[in-house]
Amino acid sequence: MSRVPLQPLQNFVTAARLGNLTRAADSLNLTVSALSHQMRQLEERLGYALLQRQPRGVKATPEGQRLLEQVGPHLDAIAQALQPFGARHDRVLTVSALPSMASNWLVPRLGSFVTAHPQIEFNLESSERLTDFERQLHCDAALRVGAGQWSGVHAEPLFDEWMVPMASPSLVERMGGVDARPLSQWPLLGDPDGEWHRWFSLVGDAAPARFVAMLNDSEAHHRAALDGFGVALGRMTRARLLLDSGQLIALSPHRLKTRWSHWLVYPPRSSTHPGFLAFRDWLHAQAREHANHMAALTPHSRANTDYPA
Average pLDDT over residues 75-101: 76
Question: Could you give the CA distance from residue 96 to residue 141 in angstroms, rounded to a whole number?
Answer: 6
The per-residue pLDDT of the chain, averaged, comes to 85
Q: Are the beta carbons of 276 and 141 closer than 8 angstroms?
A: yes
SS3 229: coil
Q: Which domains does the chain have, with CATH numbers?
A: 6-85 (1.10.10.10), 87-309 (3.40.190.290)
R_g (Cα) of the chain, nearest Å: 24
Q: What are the tens digits of pLDDT across the range 36-78?
A: 999 999 999 899 999 998 888 899 999 999 999 999 898 888 8
Q: Inter-axis angle of helices 218-226 and 236-245, to 10 degrees?
A: 10
Here the contacts of 34-37 (C-beta below 8 Å, separation 24 or greater) are 35/11
pLDDT at res. 268 = 92
3-state secondary structure of 223: helix
Whether pTM exceeds 0.85: no
